[in-house]
Chains A and B, each alone.
Chain A
Amino acid sequence: MTVFRNICVILVSAILVDNYVLSQFLGICPFLGVSKKTSSALGMSGAVIAVMTIAGAVTWPIHKYVLEPYDLTYLSTMAFILIIAMLVQCIEILLKRFIPALYNSLGVYLPLITTNCAVLGVTLLNVDQYGKFYEAVLNSFAAGIGFALALILFSGIREKLETCEIPKAFQGMPIALIAASITALSFAGFAGLFGI
């Protein structure tokens, strides 16, 4: 039963209460950059969920079974980011080869994911917080979902903003940031859910 409870806590925490974008401030660059259109937001979200989950699944064992035993944890930043870069490269090649349609819609966002703070952030936080493999992978997946949720919600808001009359100084990024502020406030309302 505690395993089930664990799973719930990880899911709720990463997606709602401590949302990776709106509460932990990871992945802000693509959050602000790719959210102008919902279609691009959807594409980016799909790619991020995939990369985050795989990256989490690959980096956690490497840290636990290679870096820790040999006292090489200071190499973890370098190792993780290189793994993520290679993963992204591999996924791009595989997609291009086997699912060209998906590659055409997602392809342009894949290189962007390498510099997504959320992906590296999730892998680094995983090794600190979770002692079991399934927890780490679940957390990575949930972080991706949380990122997707925030991104898609926000892109919907921004599309609506396009139709409003906005003062000249606030056009573009400033009004988007204010909208993000209100979105973040609304997510703060989840605090205390399930005692988290």
Chain B
Amino acid sequence: MKFKYVKPTLVLLIICVVISAALAATYRLTYVPPVTDPAQIVALMADDYAEVLPGSTDYVLVERTEGYEKLARGAVVERVTASNGCIVTVHSSGQYDSDPIRVLVGVGADGAVTGVKLLKISETPGMGMKTNNPRWLAQFVGGTSFSLDGRTGAGIDGVTSATKSSRAVVNAVNMAVEAAAELRKEAN
């Protein structure tokens, strides 16, 4: 009775081992080690930083949260100070897709937003993805507090039928502005 289970189990085990080995090999081949050196991080991101905080130099990485590549939600994940302001990266929460939107916000020395860029977004094409439009993101420039209904901050026109995505970005930018204010207090 037991004997007839030996061969099938053995074959299955061999297949599993061979495939796991193949997968391990593929993983090694495609592995990109995460960048941890602050100078390297800043060098890689310098163009994006300059885009959201025009005319800035001397980037100093203040903090990048542990497990940056893992998916934190509704949290500030990176803070950078620059010559004329700071740049904050926030992972959104409440967006449509399970993966958060990575929002890069530049905040000037006066506390107003100078630029917003979406580094990683995987919302529904045609709906949530429309927030990834430079003209839509330009709505944030110059303000300090935002909301979709205009009641608790400057009104942002949400993308039609993409309320969750729009709200997620708005909340992320608000979070970034607060984090920037704290950064300025710490610096002084």
- The interface of chain A, by Cβ under 8 A from chain B, is 74-75, 78, 82, 125, 128-129, 191-192
Contact = CB atoms under 8 A, between A and B. Distances in A.
Contacts of B163: 191-192
Q: Is the interface of B mostly helix, strand, loop or mixed?
A: helix
Contacts of A75: 20, 23
Contacts of B98: 125, 128-129
Interface of B: 16, 19-20, 23-24, 26-27, 71, 98-99, 163-164
A129 B73 CA distance: 9
Nearest to A24: B98
A48 B20 CA distance: 29
Contacts of B24: 74
Contacts, number: 19
Contact of B27 (A74, A82, A129, A191): A74
6 residue pairs, one from A and one from B, having the closest CB atoms? A74-B27, A129-B98, A128-B98, A74-B23, A125-B98, A128-B71
Contacts of B71: 128
Contacts of A129: 98
Given A74-B27, A191-B164, 4 more contacts: A74-B24, A78-B23, A128-B99, A129-B98
Nearest to A68: B70
A78 B99 contact: no
A196 to B, nearest CB: 8
A94 to B, nearest CB: 18
Nearest to A125: B98
B19 A78 contact: yes
A190 to B, nearest CB: 13
Contacts of B19: 78
Contacts of B20: 75, 78
